Structure 1
Amino acid sequence: MAVAPDSTKTPPTRIAVIFPGQGSQTVAMTSELAEHYPQIKDTFAEASAVLGEDLWAICQDEERLNQTQYTQPALLTASIAIWRILQDKLTKTPCYLAGHSLGEYSALCAAGVISFADAVKLVHKRGQFMQEAVVGIDTAMAAVLGLEDARVETLCEQATEHVDGAIVGAANFNSPGQVVVSGNAIGVNAVIDKVQNTGKKAIPLKVSVPSHCALMHPASRALAEALDNIEFEQAAIPVIQNRHARVESSALGIKQALTEQLSEPVLWSKTMQEMADKQIGILIECGSGNVLSNLAKRQAEPITSYPTDKLARLDKLMEVLS
């Protein structure tokens, strides 16, 4: 005789893993975890062999760590090291993965789409391409707080049209009321002035390159050539990509999204809404810091997110999941 399902049982919580991007790096990141988990140093040794540079030593040197060509592989390596710890601890496979900007490479690597060695090489080159694209150009980025997305886009358009030499656009739609703008210094400063005239805040960011704007078109073209030499596999876990905040299933679609991502905005709010629509109940931030966990609190439909870069944070996550 068939047994009716128990309707009083709480369905298992659906989880997703998110990977941070540039700006989340800190000197000596993952050092505390390295004292307890050999996966950390092993993963950094693997990446160092690929790069021909001691990436762990670079993470202890603030000046070198903040150089984009090193920041990117360092953050990816930290994320994949923690991901390897999580793989040993999680009792069920996450429903989705996503990464903020650079973090998308960590997500694709964790999903098995690209190998770790290829991912390290790719993001190292990506950092170089980005720096080379703006040699001799005075660039900037700024976080605009308290304005609607469409209003920020309008201010960028006005600056581009009416300020001589201005290049600026929305780079990251991070959460409702937080949009990062990017471009040359003339354009970004013009937007900062316009934002301040509305009574809202615009905070200049300390960055070495202006990500996700028209100045990155040369880097996009160089990255497209590099991606043609990488073998892409079928994803073991679906990855929601930044370009359109959706899962790309074909290798061609994934490569195109990665290429366009460099000069187009990161749709993080939309990605988080996609997670909410897919009934994700817990987000795990896999990498350095807790930037994405803080952003998760500010979404239209907040999802509880747990960072994992410290021993206490990792223990807290496992306590919640158990």
Structure 2
Amino acid sequence: MKAILFSGQGSQYVGMGADVAGAFPGARELALHANGILGYDLLKIMSSGPADLLTQTKITQPALFLHEAMVLEVTNIQQTVQAVAGHSLGEFSALYAAGVLSFADGLNLVKIRGELMFASGESTPGTMAAVIGLDDDVVANICQEFGRQDNHIVVPANYNSPGQVVISGSRELLRSILPVFKEKGARMVKELQVSGAFHSPLLLNVQDEWTSAVNATQFNDPHVPVYVNVSAKATTDRQELRRAIIEQMTSPVLWTQTMQNMFKTGITHFVEVGPQTVLQGLAKRTLTDVITEGIDKVSDCERYIASRENHE
């Protein structure tokens, strides 16, 4: 069985999606539709940057959603898979692929999400760091022991693959406890270039606004199971998906467990839709005997379309 995995923040690059929009009229129309919803030329920023603008979370989030939606528009791969999942922001692309959200509603939600997360980081300084080479429970225990001081907190935010956990929290406290992970045997500890403490309780300061935005949006039942970040389980219930999207902002991404659960149900072929190959790498580090491929550029789209036509 086959599933689509949708990339999240950190995989963006200047130029992403530009070739797809240039080669396929359907993708170009989607980009123009996005400009109308957002009120600015998103494809221009995706195409030409500058990089520091593209990496602002309020721009990055709509950009990734548009890129992934354009690939779906061109390939229709969503009609050929048995499940979908998205890493953090990618979960919105998964909901779009499964028919839960319309393009306009999905883009509007990620626009709001990006703006709220940016605002949260401005008012409550936070950051994130990757911890490589420690077991999940060791990372969690260090956060529990050292990551709570006064009103400051550090928590596990992304369980990406065995031995790779991203932590998130108050900027100064997180930076102060990074040496503890090295002392406990971490192979690498690296602060990430992000504008806030994503997937942590620090985002509770925008949770009410986020909940209102999600509750005001129409959710449909998916036509294919969606594995959600907050539980790592599949669901076809729209209200469960709504709750998961609300909780996702302040909860950890259980990606390792998601991959393992998909594999247990017989999914052995993973297609990453989105820029670069981050999720393919995580899948290979988590599972054995799986097929991974990616669809990012025009050449990838053309390869997939040709492959599909050869099998019809």
TM-score by length of 1: 0.89
The 8 Å contact of residues 78 and 97 in structure 2, kept in 1 or not, is answered as no
The 8 Å contact of residues 27 and 65 in structure 1, kept in 2 or not, is answered as yes
Structure 2 partner of 1:116: 103
Point out the structure with max Rg over C-alpha: 1
What runs of 5+ residues in structure 1 fail to find an aligned partner?
1-13
Q: CA deviation at 1:64?
A: 2.1
Find 2:194's aligned residue among 207, 224, 230: 207
In angstroms, what is the RMSD of aligned CA positions?
1.9
* Counterpart residue identity of residue 216, structure 2: N
Separation in structure 1 between the aligned mates of residue 36 and residue 105 of structure 2, nearest angstrom: 12
1:273 maps to 2:267 = no
Find 2:71's aligned residue among 79, 82, 85: 82
Structure 1 partner of 2:11: 24
Moved over 4 A (4+): 315-322
Separation in structure 1 between the aligned mates of residue 98 and residue 203 of structure 2, nearest angstrom: 27
Separation in structure 1 between the aligned mates of residue 175 and residue 31 of structure 2, nearest angstrom: 38
% identity of equivalent residues: 35
Tell me the matched-pair count: 306
TM-score by length of 2: 0.92
The more displaced of 258-267 and 240-249 is 240-249
1:168 maps to 2:157 = no
What runs of 5+ residues in structure 2 fail to find an aligned partner?
none
The 8 Å contact of residues 219 and 262 in structure 1, kept in 2 or not, is answered as no
Q: CA deviation at 1:69?
A: 1.3
The 8 Å contact of residues 74 and 301 in structure 2, kept in 1 or not, is answered as no
Separation in structure 2 between the aligned mates of residue 91 and residue 264 of structure 1, nearest angstrom: 27
1:192 maps to 2:178 = yes
Q: Deviations over 1:94-124 (max 9, x none)?
A: 0000000010010001111111001111110
Aligned positions of 1:1-322 closer than 5 A? 14-59=1-46, 60-61=48-49, 62-87=51-76, 90=77, 93-161=80-148, 163=149, 166-200=152-186, 201-301=188-288, 303-315=290-302, 317=304, 322=311
| Structure 1 pair 313–159 and aligned structure 2 pair: CA distance change class (3 A) | same
| More helix, by proportion | 2
The 8 Å contact of residues 121 and 195 in structure 2, kept in 1 or not, is answered as no
* Counterpart residue identity of residue 168, structure 2: S
Q: CA deviation at 1:319?
A: 6.8
Q: Deviations over 1:108-152 (max 9, x none)?
A: 011111110011111100111112223243321110000000000
Q: CA deviation at 1:238?
A: 1.2
Separation in structure 1 between the aligned mates of residue 235 and residue 79 of structure 2, nearest angstrom: 23
The more displaced of 220-229 and 301-310 is 301-310
